[in-house]
């Protein structure tokens, strides 16, 4: 059941479910697609979240009531969104462990697994991108093996390098820029998830699917293109 709530004077929250899952995220992605391809008058920006779509609009050109009416008319088209996200698959190469993954040993011990078993389990699923947040381009991914769940660091690190792949609770994600953080870091990708100089600054979008591909040191350095220590 679709529910629309006001967010101040110039935005609406279109709630499409009450739980985090691919079925709800697929509906969010479907509504995002419908509004992006045929934007109503006054639409400014769309921001997908776990269970809702934030719709920002120009109050000089439209109203919340008018936009709500437009969105409600699209509800019948959301039933065909399916139970799974079907966006493009993006391969993310990852060098696991070592300098790039200082918490791999902890995650393995916490799970009662070997480090190689953790790597294999982490790289196995096709992860849906539920939303971007925290920092520009940081993807929140679903579908991680529950055995890999790990608590956050008691004291967050002051600086986690861009590209770091982490685990916090039952979720995994990728640091898009260097920033403080408390996730358990198990590896790093040489790819830039956020680059403001690119025509499309974000490598990933909500609705995409991520496949982690383990790589070795030589492959990492070849893709990274600098003298970063390993």
Q: Which pTM value belongs to this model? A: 0.81
Contact residues for 222 (Cβ-Cβ < 8 A; gap 6+): none
Per-residue pLDDT tens for 157-211? 999 999 999 999 999 999 999 999 999 999 999 999 999 999 999 999 888 999 9
Domain with CATH 2.40.100.10 in the chain: 89-224
Task: Tell me how far CA of residue 199 lies from CA of 194, 196, 202, in angstroms.
Answer: 11, 8, 9
Q: Residues 134, 135, 138, CA angle at the centre, nearest 5°?
A: 85
Strand-by-strand arrangement of the 3-6 sheet: 3-6, 11-15, 52-57, 43-48
Per-residue pLDDT tens for 101-158? 999 999 999 999 999 999 999 999 999 998 898 899 999 998 899 999 999 999 999 9
Domain with CATH 3.30.1360.40 in the chain: 3-81
Pairwise CA distance, residues 71 & 65, whole Å: 10
Q: Domain 3-81 belongs to what topology?
A: Gyrase A; domain 2 (3.30.1360)
CATH number of 89-224: 2.40.100.10
Pairwise CA distance, residues 194 & 198, whole Å: 9
| Length of the chain in terms of residues written | 230
């Amino acid at each position: 059941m679709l529910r629309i709530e006001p967010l101040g004077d110039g935005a609406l929250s279109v709630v499409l479910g009450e739980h985090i899952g691919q079925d709800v995220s697929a509906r969010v992605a479907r509504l995002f697609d419908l509004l992006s391809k045929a934007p109503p008058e006054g639409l400014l920006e769309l921001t997908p979240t776990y269970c809702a779509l934030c719709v920002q609009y120009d109050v000089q050109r439209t109203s919340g009531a008018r936009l709500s009416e437009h969105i409600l008319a699209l509800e019948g088209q959301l039933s065909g969104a399916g139970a799974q996200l079907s966006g493009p698959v993006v391969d993310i190469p990852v060098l696991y462990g070592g300098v790039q993954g200082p918490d791999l040993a902890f995650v393995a011990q916490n799970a009662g697994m070997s480090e190689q078993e953790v790597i294999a389990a982490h790289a196995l699923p096709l992860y849906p991108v539920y939303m971007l947040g925290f920092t520009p381009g940081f993807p929140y991914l679903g579908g991680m093996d529950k055995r890999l769940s790990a608590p956050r660091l008691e004291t967050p690190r002051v600086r986690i390098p861009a590209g770091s792949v982490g685990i916090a609770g039952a979720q995994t994600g990728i640091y898009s820029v260097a920033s403080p953080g408390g996730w358990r870091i198990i590896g790093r990708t040489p790819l830039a998830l956020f680059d403001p100089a690119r025509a499309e600054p974000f490598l990933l979008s909500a609705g995409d699917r991520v496949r982690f591909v383990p790589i070795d040191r030589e492959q990492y350095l070849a893709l990274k293109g600098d003298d970063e220590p390993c």
